[in-house]
C-alpha cells in the first residue's frame, strides 16, 4: 500500500505530505512495512519485464 492517496484524519491533508505528526508517523510506518511501497505498479511491471529479458538473454547465451 502506498500513502499517495491517503488522507489524514487528524489534519485532513495528504499523508504523503506529512503535514502533522500523525501523517509523518503513518507514512514512516507504511514505508517500513513495505519497502516497495514507493514503487508504482508500472515500475514493478517494468522491473519484471527487465528481469525476464535478462533471464532470456542468459539462457540464450548458455545454450
Greater confidence (55 vs 24) lies with 55
What values do phi and psi take at 3, rounded to 5? -95, 15
| pLDDT at residue number 35 | 65
Q: Are 2 and 38 contacting, i.e. CB atoms less than 8 angstroms apart?
A: yes
Binned at pLDDT 50, 70 and 90, residue 6 comes out as confident
Q: What percent of the chain has pLDDT above 70?
A: 87
- At residue 19, the 3 state secondary structure works out as coil
Nearest in space to 25 (alpha carbons), one of 4, 8, 1, 5 = 8
pLDDT at residue 59 tops 70: yes
- How far from each other are the two terminal CA atoms of the chain, in whole angstroms? 41
Q: Would you give the DSSP letter of residue 17?
A: G
- At residue 14, the 3 state secondary structure works out as strand
| Mean pLDDT, the chain, integer | 86
Amino acid at each position: 500500500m502506498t500513502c499517495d492517496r491517503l488522507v489524514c484524519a487528524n489534519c485532513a491533508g495528504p499523508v504523503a505530505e506529512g503535514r502533522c505528526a500523525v501523517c509523518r508517523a503513518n507514512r514512516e510506518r507504511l514505508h517500513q512495512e513495505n519497502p516497495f511501497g514507493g514503487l508504482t505498479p508500472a515500475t514493478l511491471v517494468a522491473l519484471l519485464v527487465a528481469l525476464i529479458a535478462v533471464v532470456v538473454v542468459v539462457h540464450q547465451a548458455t545454450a
